[in-house]
Amino acid sequence: MQFSYSSRDQIISSLSSEHYDLLVIGGGITGCGIALDAALRGMKVALVEKSDFASGTSSRSTKLIHGGLRYLKQMEFKLVRDVGTERAIVYKNARHVVIPEKMLLPIVKNGSLGKGPTSLALWVYDYLAGVKKDELRKMLSKEQTLAEEPLLNKEKVTAGGVYYEYRTDDSRLVIELAKSAVAHGAVCLNYTEVKELIYDESKMVCGAKTTDIISGKSIDIRATKVVNAAGPFVDLIRKTDQSLFGKRLQLTKGVHIVFPYEKLPLQRAAYFDVSDGRMIFAIPRDGITYVGTTDTVYNQDIDHPHPSLHDVEYLIKAVNEMFPSVKLAVKDVISSWAGLRPLIYEDGKSPSELSRKDEIIVSASGLLSIAGGKLTGYRLMAKKIADIVAKDLLSEAKNFPPSSTQTYQLSGGEFKSDKDLQDFLTSTVTDVANQYLPNYFLHRWVFRYGRNTAYILEQAEALKSRYADAEHVALAAEMQYSFENEMVANETDFAVRRTGMIYFDKIRLDRNLSFISEYFSELLHRTEVEKVAALKHFTEVVKEVTDFK
């Protein structure tokens, strides 16, 4: 079935009429990872997401596939080893959206670690995380550190270290997982909310009553096993299951802010000390530099975490202290995002001390809930859950093979090596047939869609006579592709989670708001009244990213 908004009726009809081996609640990295692992084993899988795919925490992270350096501070050695190993696998499986990034670790007077301990910590990290030879840590003198990044505070910096993180686009990773799961038979639908669970006569969970948010229709989905991968909402589903006792979530909010690159022109991504003992990232990419994150206990509306003025000022103060010549102010922020970490509560621990380990909770009804964890560890989490489900399904005389995700390349990520990816990039950018398109788009598409860029180029070819402006041809081709192949339901899905334009290409987004909204109005056959309302809503969403109170 096509993973397209136009196939919603067909998808809904299969969700309500078929019986599934597994129903997954939540279309973040955890849920989509589980759907893929299970579908690859041959299970019949359904997944529902109440908003858009990746609209929860999985589009609001620091966007790094970590090696787990910060866990060393908490002495979580096994976690460092696991995430390091995993990082190498995730990279090979999705090279187009997982990119090595050299990270500078400035050492400052009265900072959390001196040069000796930092060198040792990075050495342990290299060893535990199995870091590649050419990415091993390098220690730097004060002069070398300042040469790597001249904007650093010369009064404070005493030395530095260089190590590697891998950057990603979290929501692209989720979408590639969902597309891959669907390609292997999973039925995945966004804007479909689980309202309550369905139980059999033995009080075992056997499905869910859901609502299609777009049409308002109810859909009952039946499945042998149900997995709750609702991220920050995991406990709400457990409450519905009347099994919310024992371990509970502690939500903490993390904020990131975005500056135009010219305002914070770092040569290198940096991970640096803040005066309160925490550490934050400043990461230049795609014409912007983003900074984050905060970590504060959160007890407010789970659906709408938002950066407060206090969060923004905290991050700006930290940047101005470390890079004093940039003198940033709140008015320089062009975008932002806030996410909620679904961590497991531990008595007496501060937000930063809470473990990032994942936990699986099995309730008396058989509901499997999974929380905690990281983007980086999504594949292992998915494997663990699918192993449990496969074992339980043995009682139904269904025998499924083990996980095959270790070597499975995600949709668009079918590259044998870095060279293969680079060759693909070069041929896409230099192909004479593509020269009418702005180079910017060609480059972005390869790192957004990988091999699937070919389909967008086909769309562009078909649309090129319609628009005089090449930027419009490119945007229309991308919108058309995401509408037909990535289950985009509106302009916000497109600008926030399919392209990240709202964070990484805000100026181009601002000048094309009406164009994008009009294109979706046409795709969705909106009435005049609906068109006006859609543009108004879209404009508000875009404005919100710089509205801090």
Ligand X SMILES: Cc1cc2nc3c(=O)[nH]c(=O)nc-3n(C[C@H](O)[C@H](O)[C@H](O)COP(=O)(O)OP(=O)(O)OC[C@H]3O[C@@H](n4cnc5c(N)ncnc54)[C@H](O)[C@@H]3O)c2cc1C
Binding site for ligand X (CB under 6 A): 25-31, 48-51, 55-58, 60-64, 66, 193-194, 229-233, 237, 254, 293, 339-342, 373-376
Which of 66/238 has CB closer to ligand X?
Answer: 66
> Residue 142 Cβ, how far from ligand X at the closest point, in Å?
29
> Residue 328 Cβ, how far from ligand X at the closest point, in Å?
20
Please state whether 366 falls in left (phi above 0), alpha (psi between -120 and 50) or beta. Answer: left
DSSP 403: P
Would you call the peptide bond into 293 cis, given omega within 30 degrees of 0 as the criterion? Answer: yes
> Residue 53 Cβ, how far from ligand X at the closest point, in Å?
7
> Residue 51 Cβ, how far from ligand X at the closest point, in Å?
5
Which of 237/446 has CB closer to ligand X?
Answer: 237
> Residue 69 Cβ, how far from ligand X at the closest point, in Å?
11
> Residue 410 Cβ, how far from ligand X at the closest point, in Å?
16
d(C-alpha 87, C-alpha 131), whole Å: 10
Q: Which residues contact 520 (CB under 8 A, 6 or more apart)?
A: 479, 483, 490, 491, 494, 526, 534
User: Could you tell me where the beta strands, DSSP code E, fall in 38-128?
Assistant: 45-48, 64-65, 98-108
Which of 140/288 has CB closer to ligand X?
Answer: 288
Which of 66/451 has CB closer to ligand X?
Answer: 66
Which of 57/224 has CB closer to ligand X?
Answer: 57
> Residue 230 Cβ, how far from ligand X at the closest point, in Å?
4
Six-digit token string for 454:
């070919």
d(C-alpha 46, C-alpha 221), whole Å: 8
Which of 57/434 has CB closer to ligand X?
Answer: 57
> Residue 166 Cβ, how far from ligand X at the closest point, in Å?
9
Which of 56/450 has CB closer to ligand X?
Answer: 56
Q: What letters, b where the CB count within 10 A reaches 16 and e where it falls short, cover 109-125?
A: eebebebeebbebbeeb
> Residue 240 Cβ, how far from ligand X at the closest point, in Å?
8
d(C-alpha 498, C-alpha 172), whole Å: 6
Contact 345, 248 (CB under 8 A): yes
Which of 25/319 has CB closer to ligand X?
Answer: 25
Q: Which residues contact 149 (CB under 8 A, 6 or more apart)?
A: 104, 106, 266, 267, 268, 270
* CB-based burial label for 68 (10 Å; 0-12, 13-18, 19+): buried
d(C-alpha 31, C-alpha 53), whole Å: 10
Angle at 116 (CA atoms; ends 114, 121), nearest 5 degrees? 90
d(C-alpha 68, C-alpha 234), whole Å: 24
Which of 271/441 has CB closer to ligand X?
Answer: 271
Which of 70/398 has CB closer to ligand X?
Answer: 70
**Radius of gyration of the chain measured on its C-alpha atoms:** 23
What is Dmax (Cα atoms) for the chain? 72
DSSP string, 298-327: --S-TT-----HHHHHHHHHHHHHHSGGG-
> Residue 55 Cβ, how far from ligand X at the closest point, in Å?
5
